[in-house]
Amino acid sequence: MDYTPNYQKMNAWEIYSRGLSAEYLQCLEEGLDAAPYKAAFDGVISLPDGPEREAMADALFRFLTTLPTRADYPYKEPSDLEEILALRDGWTLPPHAPLTEEALRRKLRGAWYGRVAGCLLGKPVEGVRTEELHPILKATGNFPMTRYIRRSELNEEICGSMRFPFLTRTSYPDCIECAPVDDDTNYTVLYMLLLERRGKDFTPEQAADFWLEMQPKSAYCTAERAAFVNFVRGIRPPASASYKNPYREWIGAQIRADYFGYIHPGDPEGAAAMAWRDASISHVKNGIYGEMFAAAMLAAAAVTTDRAEIVRAGLSQIPATSRLYERVAGHLAAYETGGPAEKAFAAITARWDEHRGHDWCHTISNAEIVTASLLWYGDEYGRAICRAVQCGFDTDCNGATVGSILGMAYGIDAVGEAWTSPLRGRLRTSLFGLTEISLDDAAERTIEQIRRMKQ
């Protein structure tokens, strides 16, 4: 009997050796002195799938844990919460008038619907690079983007020469009965359930166990898949975030932030601290900061529509010595001094290569897109989510995050029927025992959770 794992049947995110290209880039960006060992990475990558390559990758991983940080590395990026808090910039959200329950209800409905609609806008073109996305948009009279892409307007003449299988996807708004399953929306529901069942004082370990309890392995991607496999192996947080996880600063935690912001209206610090408890089970450093940043922005958006103030609230909860802070603060300064939107977006696409998976799915590249979309286009819900998606990179994630923040800031009426009608008020999930949920019910349950947290 041969007990050798069939690596061809395993997902690449579960096989450390298949992530070594990302691991090398990750090490460099973290400031580890990995450049002298590039040949070792290349040598292992060149080996065929199998136990020998995996053994070599394991040895390389253990060696990488001994590498020092370069002496000239300019950033200080801890993953421990107390160390993160000590490196904040000291800015605090100004006092705002308290919300009535009805005003909060409109905002929470806006956040839930806004997130799901923004996700749906980007979902049909997730994974598409802009050299294919933009011709499709132009051919259908939707460039610059102003609306959903509809399956009925696509045909072989438009899509036939494209590498990406546009015509086989079924997540277009004219192909659905309600909002389809997506990891970006699964997590929002997942954490609503976590808070209902474990309470506001849940621990990272309880969050990890809830992942195992509530979804199949196939529901998790990149860093989340690596962490899930670590949980199964008995590797607990925070080690689960870094053990053979090349994706530890990718976008996965950032898309899990929303519910923590929803239940902390006007309290960015509380939202970010709760987000840390979740992010730390699968991410480190800027991967963690992305979730704290997004949660804090959502908490601020509950009490202000000032987009610069919302972004500043997000920045205030992450280390001012981090790469994420530097990049977002740069966009904020450009916006406040009258810099043009297109210069900001051009800088993002020049800095990050959308054809390289590490860049396409990284926390910082996508957080920059979210930030620029909010600042320059956030006066209107539709304009902002369209600009976020049109930029490419992780389209459904960025559309969802921008949509969630602006839905919270302006409320359900500002989201508008053109965006909400395809959802029919319902969202499907892959959570065990919950195939579908009412978005209005989700907003009411969120209000009830806020009440319980005050008790």
Write down all domains in the chain, each with its CATH number in brackets: 7-64 (no CATH), 81-124+179-454 (1.10.4080.10)
Residue 179 identity (one-letter amino acid): A
Query: Contact at 8 Å (CB) between 386 and 117?
Result: no
In this predicted structure, what is the pLDDT of residue 134?
96
In this predicted structure, what is the pLDDT of residue 250?
98
In this predicted structure, what is the pLDDT of residue 43?
97
The CA-based dihedral angle spanning residues 302, 307, 309, 314, taken in that order and rounded to the nearest 10 degrees: 70
In this predicted structure, what is the pLDDT of residue 436?
97
Closest CA to 248 of 159, 367, 362: 362
What is the distance between the alpha carbons of residues 191 and 292, in angstroms, rounded to a whole number? 15
In this predicted structure, what is the pLDDT of residue 2?
76
Splitting the chain (455 residues) into consecutive groups of 10 residues, what average pLDDT does each group show?
A: 79 94 98 97 95 96 96 98 98 94 97 98 96 95 98 92 88 97 98 97 98 96 98 97 98 98 98 98 98 98 98 98 98 98 97 97 98 98 98 98 98 97 98 97 98 90
Q: How crowded is residue 78: how many other Cβ atoms within 10 Å of its Cβ?
A: 17
What is the distance between the alpha carbons of residues 284 and 50, in angstroms, rounded to a whole number? 29
In this predicted structure, what is the pLDDT of residue 222?
97
In this predicted structure, what is the pLDDT of residue 1?
78
Hey, is 435 helix, strand or coil?
strand
Hey, is 240 helix, strand or coil?
helix
Tell me the whole-structure pTM to 2 decimals.
0.97
What is the distance between the alpha carbons of residues 388 and 400, in angstroms, rounded to a whole number? 9
Query: Contact at 8 Å (CB) between 171 and 124?
Result: yes
Hey, is 72 helix, strand or coil?
coil
Chain position carrying tokens 């001994």? 66
